[in-house]
Amino acid sequence: MSLTMLAVFTVLAVIGMPLAFALGWAGLAGVVLGGFPMEQLAGKMVYALDSFPLMAIPLFMLAGQLMVRGGIMERLIELADAVVGRVTGGLGLVTVGSAMGLSSVSGSSVADATALGATLGPSLGKSYSKAFGAALVASASNLGPIIPPSIGMIVYAVVAGDVSVGALFMAGVVPGVLLGVGTMVLCSLIARRRGYPISGHAFTWARVGKELRRSFIVFLMPVLVVGGIVGGVFTATEGAAIAVAYALVIGFFITKKLRVSDLGPALLNAGIITAVVGALIAFSSQVTYLLTAEMVAPQVAEWLTTLTENPLVFTFLVMLALVLIGMVMEANAAYLMLVPIIAPVAATYGIDPVYFGFLVVMNITIGGITPPVGILLIVTSGIWRIKVTDIIKEITPFILLQYGLLFLFMLFPEIILFLPRLVGY
């Protein structure tokens, strides 16, 4: 039955059917072949979506939309320019710094890439090249699902069921900063080698202080929201609702750039992304149920133990498989199809669920910039109106950097677990 579902899903995905519907047809094939009651198809879909934690996804998406439309990009860019603008590759460093700030309020790599491309795209294309600018924005946008809050971490936590959203949020802080700094260093080295011009204003402590004061209200939101979630003051969903209220206050009364007319498009964009995620969750739930009924996870665990009993070797094998899967599968679909299988197996090896969960999230996130189906490659190529192949040439060093850091984090778990343990997880 599982092989039949895999075959149906693969064929439909290859011919271009949206992954959510391909999963739906695969689940239907499994229900018919396995002789399960048809009523289960609708029942499992409804049950999968009837989840309070999942409400955090549309709320965080809406908060990010409102913050961007409320003028936070201008403040983030000015702050980044004040700190790192006047160095070799300064504009690129400003882009990465802005991505780090934006990631702390959006949680989505696609949203970050769209915002960064719209605001910094023309300047990057003029100072460097369109292909390099697109590659830099795509790679920097991968900070979105790593630096909390993170939509990907919420989806993983819900699907895995044995890991705290707050713990995953804390796990992403140190690796996210290291990834941002590493991207800046690589960008500066490339800019120096190619002789890109120095741009931006001269560094002064007075300007840095001024921009920090202007941006303080922006960075206060992730501190309050993520801090409240981690501290147990409120749930992730309640924190997301607070983020929406906070974004409205900032946009209407602090920056005064948010208009009532912006609410409709913000709600629509958040709703579209939520609908895509919801469809994937609903249709994949039937497949997950059928795989559970066939005891696929225990069978996989038994097979893997014949290969290795070493937890680190197991983790490496899973990461290697996810690299290949990330090249051809959309992130949310990968979470929903794979996590119910690999998370229980990881538990049998005694692997820390926060450590393993973060590695899976980061690995699948990197898939957003790997060809041939990297969603961020498609987004940025559309913004700059260039071929995806042109971006691939420029983004390869950034892909190698991100996979290199992933390997480093895998070898040294304390990089991931230091903050979660510090706050009590």
Residue 405, in any domain of the structure:
yes
Q: Please report where in the chains the tokens 């690999």 appear, as a residue.
A: 342
Percent helix, strand, coil in the chain (nearest 5)? 80, 0, 20
Torsion angle, alpha carbons of 87, 89, 93, 94, to 10: 80
Q: Is residue 10 part of a domain?
A: no
pLDDT tens for residues 36-87? 777 777 777 787 777 777 888 888 888 888 888 888 878 888 888 888 767 7
Give me the count of residues in the chain: 425
Q: Under 8 Å CB-to-CB from 87, ≥6 apart: which residues?
A: 93, 188, 198, 200
Q: What is the mean pLDDT of residues 287-295?
A: 73
Quote the radius of gyration of the chain (alpha carbons, Å).
21
Residue type, 412: F
Q: Into how many domains does the chain fold?
A: 1
The stretch 101-129 carries a mean pLDDT of 83
Question: Alpha-carbon distance 297 to 301, whole Å?
Answer: 6
Instruction: Quote the distance between the C-alpha of residue 304 and its chain's center.
Output: 28
Q: Which domain holds residue 412?
A: 52-422
**4, part of any domain:** no
Per-residue pLDDT, 180: 95
Domain membership of residue 227 (yes or no) is yes
DSSP letters, 287-345, are HHHHHHHTTHHHHHHHHHHHH---HHHHHHHHHHHHHHHHTTS-HHHHHHHHHHHHHHH
Q: Say if residues 142 and 402 touch (Cβ distance below 8 Å).
A: yes
The C-alpha atoms of residue 382 and residue 307 are separated, in whole angstroms, by 44
Give the pLDDT score at 408. 97
Low-confidence winner among 255-264, 284-293, 314-323, 392-401 (lowest mean pLDDT): 284-293
Q: Is residue 5 part of a domain?
A: no
* Secondary structure class of 381 (helix, strand, coil): helix
Instruction: Dump the DSSP string for 184-222.
Output: HHHHHHHHHHHTPPP-SPPP-HHHHHHHHHHHHHHHHHH
Q: Residues 82, 347: contact at Cβ < 8 Å?
A: no
Long-range CB contact pairs, 209-212, < 8 A, 24+: 210/82, 211/75, 211/78, 211/79, 211/82, 211/83, 212/79
Please report whether residue 36 resides in a domain. Answer: no
> Model's pTM, two decimal places?
0.86
389 in a domain, yes or no?
yes
Q: What is the pLDDT of residues 324-368, one digit of tens each?
A: 888 877 788 788 888 988 998 899 899 999 999 999 999 999 998
Residue 236, domain member (yes or no): yes
What is the average pLDDT score of the chain? Answer: 86
